[in-house]
Chains A and B, each alone.
Chain A
Amino acid sequence: MNDAILKLTKQLMKISSTKDDAEALSAALDIVKKELQGYYPIEEYESQGIKSLLIHNTTHRTKHFKIILNAHVDVVTGTKKQFSPLEKDGKLYGRGSYDMKAATAVMVILFKQLAKKISYPLALQVVTDEETGGLNGTHYQVKEGLRGDFVITGDCGSNLNIVNQAKGIMWLKLHSSGRKAHGAYLWRGDNALWKLHHALAALHKIFPVPSEEKWVTTMNLAKIETDNNAFNHVPEGATAYLDFRFIAKDEKNIMAKIIKAISPDIEIEIMFCNPPEYVAPDNDYLKRLGEMGKKVIGEEPQLIAAHAPSDIRHYNEVGCVGVGFGPKGAYQHADDEWVDIKSLEEYYYILERFLLSLEK
């Protein structure tokens, strides 16, 4: 079993399916398609040029499934080396190993083996834009009518525990306008980069970078752009890209805090905002998943609150619930990303038992 999973995982990881590479994203989907073609109906979706798949075990068209397994095959950018998967000491290293090509491979192979034996409507959803917000993948399919009683996303962060809540996410652009001038005549200009800096410094005071893991609202300064592409200009416009992760307690007041902290001549653009995710601990499916986890690995999975949201939030918007549940690993989005190989098999068996248990 593990061999098939590893083989498919590596096949997926070798493709640098980053957001800007439509061809690679298609190629990653093609691998999934090839694996399941002829066994199950495959619905192909496309929104704004972004493709996604929905594979299911029903013979008639339905939009409502009991269980949906959710996977994404897009990855964040990585070094060239990261796209050559490397096995070492029971770990599989490389871009997307943990986030989440190994979990995708497990879901695909499990679906292939099991879905025919399942009598209730079961679907596997594979998208290519989770890292960029999921609007044209999961969100789009949900908008087109897709519903599930319970959704499991194999996204990273759970380590065989169950993520039943996640921070909300808000992406902002802050734009400052100054006055352009030649770099030798600073008094004629007004440096937009420096203006922006004052706003950022004020926000940094309110949302400092925690030195260790903490259940608080955080802010990441991801990028700064100027419209200035000469080196002898005082820049007249500058834009900062901010990524806020907010806890439920801050949902109501976060914007007010931001607006109060910065100068009114800084423009704020909300790129998007999603509320925190949540599913109650007494949800029947959630409890069942926990029981199966205990049976396979011997201990009860913990309920965890995730700092990062997942595509589950797009289901929450239409009243469907779901959890994050994936294999063990670390360093998603960083240079040393890895997934624990043994945990892939455990992951497979927990999901298998869970899906079979719902037949009864």
Chain B
Amino acid sequence: MRDQIVRLAKDLITIPSVSGDIEKAVEILEFGKQQLANFAFTPFVSNTYPSLLFSNQGTDRRTFKIILNAHLDVVPGKKEQFHPYEKDGKLYGRGVFDMKAATAAMLLLFKNEAHKLSFPFGLQLTTDEELSGFHGTRYQVAQGVRADFVIMGECNSNLRVTNQSKGRHLIKIIIEGNTAHAAYPWHGKNALWEMYQALNPLMQAFPTPKEEIYKTTVSITRIKTENDATNKIPGNCTAFLDVRYAPEDKDTIIAKIKSLLPSTIRLEADHLRPYHSVEAKNKYITSLRKITQEIYGQDLPLRFAHATSDAPFFAAVGCDAIEFGPVGQNAHQDNEWVDSNSLETYYYILKKFLATVDTHVKSSPKIINLSSEKKALLPL
């Protein structure tokens, strides 16, 4: 089984399905369809981003007991990262940890097990998780896709059930200056300088942590100007901030950032994903952890994630969603890898979990009460 998963993961990594490349997104979903040729699926497209929903009970099904959720887009990587290789029990390549190896395990699991399960079981394949998830998971949810329990095979959980994650704002800060010829700096107002001065107090308030903290973090990911001539003073500048907020800052973070910036700037905040949490005593979580202990041999604690996933989109409609993926490291970095053996462990844990759901867990329909904040997430 290990070799089968590794082989399939390698095939997936070879397709450079970088977020935003729609052609590659289509190509990799086609590949997914070939793998699951015997199953019914529903295709979705939102804002050109394709996604699929496989089902063991026909194409029209929207409600499931269990959904496995996988994203097939990856962040940009170096050319050689799209040539996966195995070394010392680790599989290397762009997206191997985030999350093509987990996807490979999920695809095989669905292929081998879905027809044996009596409950409605779905597999979602999306292509925009690294961007926003708006046009993949969120769109499918908006189209009525529901489940009692969703497992996202995301990176960084390392076989720990991840039931909480930080929320995320993408903030754009726009500063206007005055352009002029570079030889006459007194005629202009350099927007890039203004930006750096504006960002100083913000970065002092949110310094880069030296080690892991469960607090709100802020980072500058890009600074750009429309100016393309070195001998011109830039007349405008936009900076992008990646804000990961802890639950205690949920309602105050935007106001706090605004208060640290000069009033002359323009700030646009995109609430990409809300803070997310599923109760620790959820019956599926309990079952998944118990089975992990049996197969992996360790009682792993629950995990709080710094990074967000598509899980909050399910949470917004009252479906419990968690992250649970194989062992690996260095997501988004050059030396991204997963532990090859853990893929097999991962596969068997999920297989046993599904079998348990079938025999023991009897679900009753939930009464869903949407808060207004959660409702706001739905319309597209």
Residues of A within 8 A of B (CB): 19, 76-77, 131-132, 167, 169, 171, 180-191, 193-194, 197, 200-201, 204, 209-214, 218-226, 228-235, 241-243, 245, 271, 306-309, 331-335
**Which B residues are in CB contact (< 8 Å) with A211?**
186
B203 sits at the interface (CB 8 A): yes
- Taking the nearest CB of chain B, how far is it from the CB of A170, in angstroms? 11
Partner of B228, one of A77, A197, A220, A231: A77
Q: Mark B323-364, 1 if CB is under 8 A from A, else 0.
A: 000000001111000000000000000000000000000000
Residues of B within 8 A of A (CB): 19, 75-76, 130, 166, 168, 170, 178-188, 190, 192-193, 196, 199, 203, 208-213, 217, 219-225, 227-234, 240, 242, 244, 305-308, 331-334
**Which A residues are in CB contact (< 8 Å) with B180?**
331, 333-334
Say whether B230 contacts A213, CB under 8 Å: no
In the docked arrangement, what's the CA distance between A219 and B192, Å? 13
In the docked arrangement, what's the CA distance between A191 and B203, Å? 12
Say whether B231 contacts A187, CB under 8 Å: no
Say whether B222 contacts A231, CB under 8 Å: yes
- Taking the nearest CB of chain A, how far is it from the CB of B322, in angstroms? 17
A218 with B185, Cβ < 8 A, contacts A186-B217, A201-B196, A231-B240 known: yes
- Taking the nearest CB of chain A, how far is it from the CB of B252, in angstroms? 20
Residue of A nearest to B132 (CB): A231
Task: Across the A-B interface, give the 6 residue pairs with the lowest CB-CB distance, nearest first.
Answer: A308-B183, A184-B307, A220-B182, A307-B183, A183-B242, A333-B181
Residue of A nearest to B98 (CB): A182
In the docked arrangement, what's the CA distance between A213 and B187, Å? 8
In the docked arrangement, what's the CA distance between A111 and B187, Å? 34
Partner of A231, one of B179, B221, B244: B221
Say whether B181 contacts A332, CB under 8 Å: yes
In the docked arrangement, what's the CA distance between A53 and B210, Å? 59
A213 with B240, Cβ < 8 A, contacts A194-B220, A223-B225, A228-B222 known: no
In the docked arrangement, what's the CA distance between A167 and B232, Å? 16
A-B residue pairs in contact (CB < 8 Å), sample of 8? A182-B307, A184-B307, A187-B208, A187-B210, A194-B220, A223-B234, A224-B223, A229-B222
Partner of A222, one of B203, B209, B231, B242: B231
- Taking the nearest CB of chain A, how far is it from the CB of B76, in angstroms? 6
A191 with B331, Cβ < 8 A, contacts A197-B196, A214-B186 known: no
- Taking the nearest CB of chain B, how far is it from the CB of A168, in angstroms? 11
In the docked arrangement, what's the CA distance between A77 and B183, Å? 17
**Which A residues are in CB contact (< 8 Å) with B190?**
209, 220-221
The interface centre, meaning the residue of B178, B186, B229, B331 with most chain A CB atoms within 10 A of its CB, is: B229
Partner of B183, one of A167, A188, A201: A167
- Taking the nearest CB of chain A, how far is it from the CB of B302, in angstroms? 18
Say whether A232 contacts B228, CB under 8 Å: no
In the docked arrangement, what's the CA distance between A193 and B223, Å? 8
A131-B231, A222-B230, A234-B219 known; 16 other A-B pairs, CB under 8 Å?
Answer: A76-B229, A180-B333, A180-B334, A186-B219, A187-B212, A187-B213, A209-B186, A209-B190, A218-B182, A221-B190, A222-B182, A222-B192, A228-B221, A332-B181, A334-B178, A334-B187
Residue of B nearest to A242 (CB): B230
- Taking the nearest CB of chain A, how far is it from the CB of B229, in angstroms? 5
The interface centre, meaning the residue of B178, B188, B227, B307 with most chain A CB atoms within 10 A of its CB, is: B227
Say whether B221 contacts A235, CB under 8 Å: yes
Say whether A230 contacts B221, CB under 8 Å: yes
In the docked arrangement, what's the CA distance between A198 and B43, Å? 49
Say whether B221 contacts A241, CB under 8 Å: no
**Which A residues are in CB contact (< 8 Å) with B186?**
209-214
In the docked arrangement, what's the CA distance between A272 and B353, Å? 65
Say whether B193 contacts A204, CB under 8 Å: yes
A191 with B220, Cβ < 8 A, contacts A184-B308, A200-B196 known: yes
The interface centre, meaning the residue of B203, B211, B223 with most chain A CB atoms within 10 A of its CB, is: B223
A182 with B331, Cβ < 8 A, contacts A221-B190, A224-B223, A334-B181 known: yes
In the docked arrangement, what's the CA distance between A245 and B228, Å? 18
Say whether A230 contacts B229, CB under 8 Å: no
Residue of A nearest to B199 (CB): A197
Partner of A226, one of B199, B222, B234, B308: B222
Say whether A308 contacts B192, CB under 8 Å: no
A233 with B181, Cβ < 8 A, contacts A209-B186, A222-B230 known: no
**Which B residues are in CB contact (< 8 Å) with A200?**
196
Say whether A224 contacts B225, CB under 8 Å: yes
Residue of B nearest to A183 (CB): B242
Say whether B229 contacts A77, CB under 8 Å: yes
A185 with B76, Cβ < 8 A, contacts A230-B19, A306-B183 known: no
- Taking the nearest CB of chain A, how far is it from the CB of B230, in angstroms? 5
Residue of B nearest to A243 (CB): B182
Partner of B192, one of A180, A182, A188, A224: A224
- Taking the nearest CB of chain A, how far is it from the CB of B164, in angstroms? 13
In the docked arrangement, what's the CA distance between A233 and B334, Å? 12
Residue of B nearest to A306 (CB): B183
Say whether A230 contacts B196, CB under 8 Å: no
Say whether B208 contacts A191, CB under 8 Å: yes
**Which B residues are in CB contact (< 8 Å) with A332?**
181
Residue of A nearest to B196 (CB): A197
In the docked arrangement, what's the CA distance between A189 and B208, Å? 9
**Which B residues are in CB contact (< 8 Å) with A308?**
181-184, 231
**Which A residues are in CB contact (< 8 Å) with B307?**
182-185, 232
- Taking the nearest CB of chain A, how far is it from the CB of B168, in angstroms? 8
**Which B residues are in CB contact (< 8 Å) with A193?**
220-223
- Taking the nearest CB of chain A, how far is it from the CB of B244, in angstroms? 5
**Which B residues are in CB contact (< 8 Å) with A331?**
180, 187
Say whether A181 contacts B332, CB under 8 Å: yes
Say whether B230 contacts A223, CB under 8 Å: yes
In the docked arrangement, what's the CA distance between A221 and B182, Å? 9
The interface centre, meaning the residue of B182, B192, B227, B334 with most chain A CB atoms within 10 A of its CB, is: B182
Say whether A184 contacts B244, CB under 8 Å: yes
- Taking the nearest CB of chain A, how far is it from the CB of B214, in angstroms? 11
Say whether A194 contacts B233, CB under 8 Å: no
Say whether B234 contacts A222, CB under 8 Å: yes
